[in-house]
Amino acid sequence: MFPRVLLSIVPLACWGASTMPPEADQHLAHDIYKEMVEIKSGYTTGATTPVAQAVAKRLRAAGFPESDIFIGGAIPTKANLVVRFHGSGKLKPILLLAHTDVVEAKREDWSMDPFVFTEKDGYFYGRGTSDDKAQAAVWTANLIRYRREGFKPDRDIIVALTADEEGSGPANGVAWLIKNHRALVDAEFCLNEGGRGQMVNGQRVSNEIQAAEKWYLDLRLEVRNKGGHSSLPVPDNAIYRLANALVRLSQFGFPLKTNEASRAYFTGMAKIDTTPFRADLAKVAANDLPAMRRIAAASPAWNSMLRTTCVATMLEGGHAPNALPQLAAANVNCRVLPDDSLQYVMDTLRKVIADGQVAVSITNQEENSPSSPLRPDLVSAITRVTDSMWPGVIVLPTLGTGATDGRYLRAVGIATYGVQGFFNERDDNRAHGRDERMMVRSFYEGQTFLYELVKALAVTAQSR
């Protein structure tokens, strides 16, 4: 019996010592996390102001002066919190961002109350446990810890906990702060959500750093026609014209291409992939077109990383069963690569549609989000901390195919990186869905990871 007991204790002691925060800091992060999850900050029905107030109260109690704490937002229910921990000023500030609103969650859709923080079977359950209150809680707890430990950074560390990322509504906190209080959030670069730690069958394989993301564009394709009685059809029909345009769109694919982030992603994937695609993944990084075609065809996610996409998502048309249509229209949703311009997308689509009677107009255009360069200091710090905590796990740059608040910052020249160090199973992403959860161990390890990473980035190379 003795050797068996010894074996089960030794590895635990090992990871416990190197990857878990001190017990008091675990308790602190846990309590902040619980408090945040239990505040109903649903995008449509909730408010982020109580989250900002609860965090401000903790910061004051921890000794942060009132003058370094800011609460404000576009509307009274959607407040943001910004707090500054002062450094020597040798370097420009670093911004640590997390959003405090969540996707709506209904009790009847879940196995438990989504707004009661529940620990069960090694997981924390609740709306926002992964998106994005874990990072918000960890930024707060770590900032309090730096202050308590007397850490003297070479740059200011700014934490911004912001409203309305989900749905990017009119009260979006990052957009509001940039417009109204730029000095509060101005930074050399920002760390944000958008990069996860990936596990496959319980094994940690990669720690992501999201360095770029596609930008969002909605177009309306519209055909108008004089119409008439449906008993006297003519060839020129609004519905047929629109349908033909959409068929041409369905047969078209934007050119396949890579950028710095996606090349680094495919290089990394070639190291960890165990499928027959492994050789092609390596070739994609070298812009081998046949390999790119095979990889794009193999997975919608890979396809989306390799090209701008435009797809029909909604249709309307006609006004009566017995009348020729006077109107036919479609919404086409585009997710555009950082390097593709609006002009390029519009010109390309007009050529593909090839029908001057199909009017194309923009109904929703979000910020064009340029890629953030893979800064060597950042990549080497992430690699160093990742290696020390999880030997064998690779650091994997990514190009996000969705969108985060990072786009507002990138659009005004603040390079932004999605990095969290919270690991979960690759196929168990429940953000926005039912029974959203975070592994208990992943939460505390992420706390340590972000503590060490920010500490490394906040001092000059000489002070390290």
Interface region with Zn ion, contact rule CB under 5 A, candidates 116-124, 126-134, 178-186, 202-210: 126-134
Chosen residue from 35, 131, 208, 213 binding Zn ion by CB under 5 A: 131
Scanning 130-138, 224-232, 245-253, 393-401 for contacts with Zn ion by CB under 5 A, the matching segment is 130-138
Q: Helix 2-19 vs helix 440-457: angle between axes, to the nearest 10 degrees?
A: 40
Q: Which is nearer to Zn ion, 130 or 386 (CB)?
A: 130
Minimum separation from the CB atom of position 116 to Zn ion (A): 21
Q: Which one, 131 or 452, has the nearer CB to Zn ion?
A: 131
**Of 25 and 131, CB closest to Zn ion:** 131
Q: Least distance to Zn ion from the beta carbon of 280, Å? A: 31
400 close to 418: Cβ distance less than 8 angstroms:
yes
Q: Which is nearer to Zn ion, 193 or 340 (CB)?
A: 193
Tell me whether residue 181 or residue 432 sits nearer to Zn ion (CB atom).
Answer: 432
Q: For residue 26, what is the DSSP state?
A: H
Contact mark string toward Zn ion, 75..114, x via CB under 5 A: ----------------------------------------
Q: How far is CA 336 from CA 172, 293, 309, 319, in A?
A: 21, 18, 6, 33
- The region of 127-135, 152-160, 257-265, 274-282 touching Zn ion under the rule CB under 5 A is 127-135
Number of H helices, E strands in the chain: 15, 19
Instruction: Using alpha carbons, select from 278, 201, 209, 241 the residue that is nearest to residue 353.
Output: 241
Footprint of Zn ion on 377-436 (CB under 5 A): none
Give the shortest CB-407-to-Zn ion separation in angstroms.
13
Return the range that interacts with Zn ion (CB under 5 A); candidates 89-97, 129-137, 173-181, 272-280: 129-137
What string marks each residue from 173 to 202 as x (binds Zn ion by CB under 5 A) or -?
Answer: --------------------x---------
CA distance 90 to 83: 19
Q: Which stretch binds Zn ion (CB under 5 A): 125-133, 312-320, 339-347, 368-376?
A: 125-133
Q: How many residues does the chain have?
A: 464
Contact status, residue 57 vs residue 153, Cβ threshold 8 Å: no
Considering the complex, what minimum distance in angstroms separates the CB of residue 99 from Zn ion? 6
Cα 32 versus chain centre, distance? 22
Q: How far is the CB of 101 from Zn ion (least distance, A)?
A: 9
What is the closest distance, in whole angstroms, from the C-beta atom of residue 356 to Zn ion in the complex?
A: 41
In the complex, the smallest distance separating the C-beta of residue 251 from Zn ion, rounded to whole angstroms, is 35
Instruction: Report d(CA 78, CA 171) in Å as an integer.
Output: 7
Pick the closer one to Zn ion by CB: 93 or 195: 195
Secondary structure of the chain: what % helix, strand, coil (to 5)?
40, 25, 35
Minimum gap (Å) between residue 393 Cβ and Zn ion: 23
Closest CA to 245 of 215, 227, 219: 219
What is the radius of gyration, based on Cα positions, of the chain?
A: 25
Q: Which is nearer to Zn ion, 48 or 303 (CB)?
A: 48
Comparison of 168 and 258: residue with beta carbon closer to Zn ion: 168
E strand or H helix at 306: helix 300-306
**Identity of the residue, 44 or 287, whose beta carbon is nearer to Zn ion in the bound complex:** 44
Identity of the residue numbered 309: T
* 213 near Zn ion, rule: CB under 5 A: no
* DSSP states along 161-219: EES--TT--TT-HHHHHHHH-HHHH--SEEEESS--EEEETTEEEEEEEEEEE-EEEEE
Residue count, binding to Zn ion (CB under 5 A): 3
Q: Which of 25, 35, 132, 405 binds Zn ion (CB under 5 A)?
A: 132
The span of 128-136, 146-154, 156-164, 444-452 binding Zn ion (CB under 5 A) equals 128-136
* DSSP per position, 250-288: HT--PPP---HHHHHHHHHHHHH--STTHHHHHHHTTT-
Plot region of 287 (φ>0 → left; ψ -120 to 50 → alpha; else → beta): left
Among 162, 106, 103, which Cα is nearest to 432's?
103
Applying CB under 5 A, the residues found at the interface with Zn ion are 131-132, 193
